[in-house]
Amino acid sequence: EIDRANTIISDFLSLAKSHDGELRKEGDLNQLIYRIFPMIQADATTRNKEIILNLNPLSPIMLNENEIRQLLLNLVRNALEVTPEHGSVIIKTYKEGNNTVLAVQDQGDGIPEEIREQIGTPFFTTKESGTGLGLAISMKIAERHNAELVFDTGKDGTTFKVIFRMPLRVSRTI
């Protein structure tokens, strides 16, 4: 019970904390994913599931690596929880116009329509032991990165997408 209380408090503080002043630097999203892949893969293997990477070439983006790592871990762990045994979670990166997209796709049963609007609300959870803060924190992290966290869901699973909005470059003529 103490560990659970500690987790809830830590998650809540992470959500409430302002990270505006924290270092964001140009980084390679794919390299960040490769660096944490062994940990994600180990988590999947213990659950008899697999992680599939489908990473496409990307331009560097401004990011806080610790925050994006936390966001990715939250999305992957949620996906692993709903994916059936021997199923797969797919992590994708790709360009969509000027934007960079990170997508995490599960093979669960989809999100019931009656709770879709509550997804990301602090303390809302469908899990017996969940805090209801993982997606709320992930949404805040996305927001701090000029990104949007959206999802597509259906009976064959759910895909959460983090869409990093790229600023348009201004061309100047002299």
CATH number of the domain bearing residue 126: 3.30.565.10
How many separate domains does the chain show? 1
Radius of gyration of the chain (CA): 17
The verdict on residue 37 lying in a domain is yes
User: 145 is in which domain, residue-wise?
Assistant: 22-164
The verdict on residue 12 lying in a domain is no
The verdict on residue 7 lying in a domain is no
Query: What pLDDT shows up at residue 115?
Result: 73
Q: What is the pLDDT of residues 54-79, one digit of tens each?
A: 999 999 999 999 999 999 999 999 99
The verdict on residue 14 lying in a domain is no
The verdict on residue 46 lying in a domain is yes
The verdict on residue 100 lying in a domain is yes
Residue in the block written with tokens 């045994």: 85
The verdict on residue 13 lying in a domain is no
Quote the longest CA-to-CA distance of the chain: 66
The verdict on residue 6 lying in a domain is no
Give CA 9 to chain center in angstroms: 20
pLDDT beyond 70 at 33: yes
pLDDT beyond 70 at 4: no
Neighbouring C-beta atoms of residue 52, cutoff 10 Å: 11
pTM tops 0.85, yes or no: no
